[in-house]
């Protein structure tokens, strides 16, 4: 285990693109600092809508070829963020995109939504015991905005965090590992409101933004009252890496910095400071944390701050 970097961050997401939208700046920052950044994506995003007209054939109701295409987009996005460890839960295509809430794809065999939590979590336990992350980032219980795959990803990630620490749970998957800190993705309401004000101003100017319609605060996943946010990561030095990673997901995202739109064509702000709620683990001091590993490195030092002895 001595070759593991001292700081190890695990992010668990539903589809390719979610990581870049939610955590792109955070991932680029920690990767640049030499931390181990591991991304686990639960599905290939096969049911996503396709933005570029010339790629429309990829959609699931036509050639159903979007999954492998998004795999390649994710590879390029990770290159932009400097992240080398990205995996699909159980391997590429093991769990399928469940579509939006209420569609028949929800219950299809192999859909993430139709999978037993512990079955899916077992695959993540294996990753956790291998990588031994001190920090886990995922969604809130509503998946940020109610998409079945995002809700299920939350459940799988939280369950896997528990099971990984359980010595009796499938010991063949590795030695038990307890994750010190667990975070949910958040956006403070004031930041979202301010971002839309900026966007409305920009749209009013003749600066050629490729958007005509605008989203609203309720369209942003994970928006909460400011006091709920415990942690903010200033990734502004990695703004261009984040935008490039989002741009790599071209079937899903249209980017015009510092704004973007998904397939609904509703423009929204692109945040380069990313926000989190610490839901498990100790928080030092009263103000917002500015580092996901705050308080962790002290613990790490007991067994070797520089990665020796881990």
**List of residues contacting Zn ion (CB under 5 A):** 14-15, 18
Name the minimum Å distance from CB 56 to Zn ion: 20
Is 18 annotated in a binding site? The answer is yes
User: In this structure, are residues 77 and 28 in contact, taking their beta carbons and an 8 Å threshold?
Assistant: no
Name the minimum Å distance from CB 269 to Zn ion: 18
Which residue lies nearer to Zn ion by CB, 18 or 73?
18
Which residue lies nearer to Zn ion by CB, 76 or 162?
76
Peptide bond into 17 cis (omega under 30): no
Q: Please list the alpha-helical segments (H only) found in the chain.
A: 18-32, 66-81, 117-131, 148-164, 189-204, 239-248, 296-301
C-beta nearest to Zn ion: residue: 15
Query: How far apart (Å, rounded) are the C-alpha atoms in residues 179 and 271?
Result: 27
Buried b (16+ CB within 10 A) or exposed e, 237-261: ebbebbbbbbbbbbbbbbbbebbbb
Dmax (CA) of the chain: 63
Which residue lies nearer to Zn ion by CB, 41 or 80?
41
Name the minimum Å distance from CB 14 to Zn ion: 4
Q: How far is CA 235 from the centre of its chain?
A: 15
Name the minimum Å distance from CB 181 to Zn ion: 23
Is 150 annotated in a binding site? The answer is yes
Which residue lies nearer to Zn ion by CB, 14 or 28?
14
Is 86 annotated in a binding site? The answer is no
Query: How far apart (Å, rounded) are the C-alpha atoms in residues 270 and 251?
Result: 17
Buried b (16+ CB within 10 A) or exposed e, 126-165: bbbbebbbbbbbbbbeebbbebbbbbbbbbbbbbbbebbe
Which residue lies nearer to Zn ion by CB, 21 or 127?
21
Residue 93 CA: distances (Å) to CA of 19, 173, 249, 286 = 18, 21, 18, 43
Pair of tokens at residue 234 = 């200033």
Name the minimum Å distance from CB 26 to Zn ion: 17
Name the minimum Å distance from CB 147 to Zn ion: 6
Which residue lies nearer to Zn ion by CB, 14 or 120?
14
Write out the binding residues.
15, 18, 150
Write out the binding residues for Zn(2+).
15, 18, 150
């Amino acid at each position: 285990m001595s070759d593991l970097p001292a700081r190890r961050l695990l992010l668990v997401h539903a589809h390719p693109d979610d990581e870049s939208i939610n955590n792109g700046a955070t991932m680029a920052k920690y990767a640049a600092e030499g931390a181990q950044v591991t991304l686990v994506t639960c599905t290939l995003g096969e049911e996503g809508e396709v933005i570029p007209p010339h790629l429309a054939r990829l959609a699931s109701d036509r050639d159903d070829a979007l999954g492998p295409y998004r795999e390649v987009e994710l590879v390029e996005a990770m290159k932009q963020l400097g992240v080398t460890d990205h995996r699909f839960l159980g391997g590429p295509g093991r769990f399928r995109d469940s579509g939006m809430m209420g569609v028949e794809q929800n219950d299809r065999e192999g859909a993430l939504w139709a999978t037993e939590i512990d079955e899916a979590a077992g695959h993540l336990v294996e990753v956790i015991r291998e990588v031994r992350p001190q920090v886990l980032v995922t969604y809130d219980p509503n998946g940020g905005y109610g998409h079945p795959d995002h809700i299920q990803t939350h459940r799988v990630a939280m369950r896997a965090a528990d099971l990984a620490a359980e010595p009796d749970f499938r010991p063949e998957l590795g030695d038990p590992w307890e994750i010190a800190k667990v975070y949910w993705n958040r956006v403070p309401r004031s930041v979202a409101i301010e971002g839309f004000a900026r966007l409305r101003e920009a749209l009013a100017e003749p600066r050629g933004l490729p958007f005509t319609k605008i989203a609203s605060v309720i369209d942003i996943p994970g928006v909460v009252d400011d006091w709920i946010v415990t942690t903010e990561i200033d990734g502004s030095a990695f703004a261009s890496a984040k935008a490039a990673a989002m741009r790599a997901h071209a079937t899903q995202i249209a980017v015009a910095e510092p704004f973007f739109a998904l397939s609904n064509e509703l423009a929204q702000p692109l945040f380069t400071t990313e926000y989190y709620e610490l839901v498990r683990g100790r928080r030092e001091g009263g103000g917002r944390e500015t580092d996901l590993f705050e308080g962790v490195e002290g613990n790490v030092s007991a067994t070797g701050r520089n990665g020796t002895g881990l």
